[in-house]
Amino acid sequence: MNISHASVLPEEVLHYLGVDDTEHLLLDATVGEGGHSYAFLERFPNLRVIGLDADSRILGRARERLARFGDRVELLHTWFDAYFEREPEAGRPTRILFDLGVSSFHFKASGGGFSFREDEPLDMRLNHDELEDAADLVNNLPQDELAAVIYRYGEERYSRRIAAAVVRRRAESPLRSSAELADLVYHAVPAPYRHGRIHPATRTFQALRIAVNRELERIERALAGAIDQLVPGGVIGVIAFHSLEDRIVKRMFREKSKACTCPPEMPICKCEGVPVLELITRKPVFASETEREHNPASRTARLRVARKC
């Protein structure tokens, strides 16, 4: 099997989430092609893994790759927020890992319209049980809502121009492919922006993908549930790839690591709260120079780790 995705921060993740030689359960909330899980199973012989993924195709690839570890691995096709809303049937994890976003498999080999470099149907759904895809959004959202999506989830400063160009275009015929959308964005933005550091459609594609899969809402819900499920003393690590994701992680970790949760106007503490998390990494951990050189996807990766009190 050809592996499309190189796991980011592999040594750092093993270091911060590593276990002793007693029995442990790692909940890999974003198992993808199984890269991180494989490394954990190989390094720690008493570790079991439950791996989740919203995409059943990539889960099939993880199943094949992790088959040699037999019943030490269980893989489940589910959104991670849905998983963490339920009672943990297979036991509470001692380690939880989130490696957010999509895999290189999605860009290079899924045929799902995630990449502006390919000419594929404009889909972008991770989970094909969901009905609404990226073509539905670009062809149906009112212009101001489309601009808001591109601005909010892509932090794209030309969101209004892009949304206006989409609406003009779809009045003639609906947009159907990733290449059509990439071309439209290219021509909608000012000429100097076309030759910047990143392709001018990068942010629009990121925004649509986040909106189609409701990625940010899911992270927020899942983190709270994951911290509840983790055993006391257990460790949670989250790898984010852009500031929208990282902001959610940072805020959640900060709130859960505070003792007092009284409103700021309260002169003395009435809640007698105790912190739920102890921050292990005060600042996010970034990839080394060497990793950045070899794996460009790692350049924006940042890992935050915390221990449940």
Half-sphere exposure of 284 (CA within 13 A, CB side): 21
Per CB under 6 A, does 33 bind ligand SAM?
yes
Rounded least distance, CB 232 to ligand SAM, Å: 25
Cβ-contact 30, 59 below 8 angstroms:
no
Nearer CB in complex with ligand SAM: 50/162: 50
Using CA atoms, how far apart are residues 280 and 225, in angstroms rounded to an integer?
A: 20
Among 24, 69, 84, 99, binds ligand SAM (CB under 6 A): 99
Nearer to ligand SAM, 79 or 153 (CB): 79
Q: List the interface residues with ligand SAM, window 187-246 (CB under 6 A).
A: 215, 218
Stretch that binds ligand SAM, among 19-27, 42-50, 99-107, 130-138 (CB under 6 A): 99-107
Burial state string for 119-158 with b = 16 or more CB within 10 A and e = fewer than 16: ebebbbbbeeeeeebbbebbbebeeeebbbbbbebbebeb
Q: Which of 17, 102, 249, 306 binds ligand SAM (CB under 6 A)?
A: 102
Window 254 to 293, contacts with ligand SAM (CB under 6 A): none
If one asks whether residue 126 binds ligand SAM (CB under 6 A), the answer comes out as yes
Closest approach of Cβ 32 to ligand SAM, in Å?
3
In angstroms, rounded to a whole number, what is the distance separating the alpha carbons of residues 173 and 222?
39
Residue 169 interacts with ligand SAM (CB under 6 A): yes or no: no
CB atoms within 10 A of CB 11: 11
To the nearest whole angstrom, how small is the minimum distance from the Cβ of residue 49 to ligand SAM?
Answer: 11
Which amino acid makes up residue 106? Answer: H
User: For residues 184 and 303, which CB has a smaller minimum distance to ligand SAM in the complex?
Assistant: 303
CA nearest to 102, candidates 221, 182, 244, 215: 215
Compute the distance between CA of residue 271 and CA of residue 158 in angstroms, rounded to an integer. Answer: 46
Exactly one of 41, 52, 75, 306 binds ligand SAM (CB under 6 A); which one?
Answer: 52
Burial 295-308 (b: 16+ CB within 10 A, else e): bebbebbbbbbbbb
The residue type found at 168 is R
Candidate segments 74-82, 107-115, 160-168, 299-307, binder of ligand SAM by CB under 6 A: 74-82
Closest approach, Cβ 76 to ligand SAM, in A, equals 9
Burial of 182 (0-12, 13-18, 19+ CB in 10 A): buried
Binding site for ligand SAM (CB under 6 A): 5, 7, 30, 32-36, 52-55, 58, 79-81, 99, 101-103, 126, 215, 218
